[in-house]
A and B are shown apart, each in its own frame.
Chain A
Amino acid sequence: MSQAEAIYALWLREFKVFTREKSRIVSSIFTPMLWIFVFGGGLGSAINIGNVNYQIFIYPGILVMSVLFSSVFFGVYVIWDRKIDILKAILVAPLSRTTIFVGKVLGGCTDSMIQALIMLLVSFVLGIYLTVSSFLLAITILFLLALSLVSTGLIIGSLMESPEGFNMIISFLIFPLFFFSGALFPIDNLPIWLSFITYINPVTYGVDALRMAIIGVSQFPLYVDLIVLTGFAVVMFTIGTRSFERMK
Chain B
Amino acid sequence: MDIAIKTINLTKKFKDITAVDDLNVEIKQGEIFGLLGPNGAGKTTTISMLCTILKPTAGSAQVNGYDILKEPEKVRRSIGIVFQQPSVDDILTGFENLRLHAMWYGVPKETREKRIDEVLELVGLQSRQKSLVKTYSGGMRRRLELARGLLHLPNVLFLDEPTLGLDPQTREHIWEYIEKMSREREMTIVLTTHYMEEADSLCDRVAIIDQGKIVVMDAPDSLKEKVGGDIVYLKTTAADTNKFREIKEVSKIEKKDDCIILTVKNAGEHLQEILEISGKVESVEVRSASLEDVFINYTGKEIRTETGEGGIVQRIIKERTVR
In B79-111, which residues have CB < 8 Å from any A CB? 79, 81, 83, 85-92, 96, 99-101, 103-106
Q: Which residues of A contact B148 (CB under 8 A)?
A: 89
In B293-320, which residues have CB < 8 Å from any A CB? none
A92-B52 CB under 8 A given contacts A5-B103, A9-B103: yes
Which A residue's beta carbon lies closest to that of B76?
A: A94
Count contacts between A and B, CB distance < 8 Å. 63
Q: What is the interface of chain A mostly: helix, strand, loop, or mixed? A: helix
- Determine the interface band of chain B, counting residues with CB < 8 A from chain A: 20 to 34
Q: Which residues of B contact A95 (CB under 8 A)?
A: 104
Assess whether B53 is interfacial by the CB under 8 Å rule.
yes
Residue among A6, A10, A86, A92 making CB contact with B106, cutoff 8 Å:
A6
Assess whether B113 is interfacial by the CB under 8 Å rule.
no
Q: Which residues of B contact A13 (CB under 8 A)?
A: 89, 92, 100
The answer for the CA separation of A96 and B81 in the assembled complex, in Å, is 18
Q: Are A93 and B101 in contact (CB under 8 A)?
A: yes
Q: Are A96 and B73 in contact (CB under 8 A)?
A: yes
Q: Which residues of A contact B99 (CB under 8 A)?
A: 9
In the assembled complex, the CB of A235 is this many whole angstroms from the nearest CB of chain B, namely: 26
The answer for the CA separation of A227 and B188 in the assembled complex, in Å, is 54
Q: Which residues of B contact A94 (CB under 8 A)?
A: 73-74, 76-77, 104-106
In the assembled complex, the CB of A106 is this many whole angstroms from the nearest CB of chain B, namely: 14
The answer for the CA separation of A51 and B289 in the assembled complex, in Å, is 94
Most buried by A among B77, B81, B104: B104
Q: Which residues of B contact A16 (CB under 8 A)?
A: 91-92, 96
Q: Are A12 and B100 in contact (CB under 8 A)?
A: yes
Assess whether A85 is interfacial by the CB under 8 Å rule.
yes
Which A residue's beta carbon lies closest to that of B55?
A: A248
Q: Are B87 and A93 in contact (CB under 8 A)?
A: no
The answer for the CA separation of A85 and B105 in the assembled complex, in Å, is 19
In A12-39, which residues have CB < 8 Å from any B CB? 12-13, 16-17, 20-21
Which residue numbers of A lie inside 8 Å of B, CB to CB? 2, 5-6, 8-10, 12-13, 16-17, 20-21, 84-86, 88-96
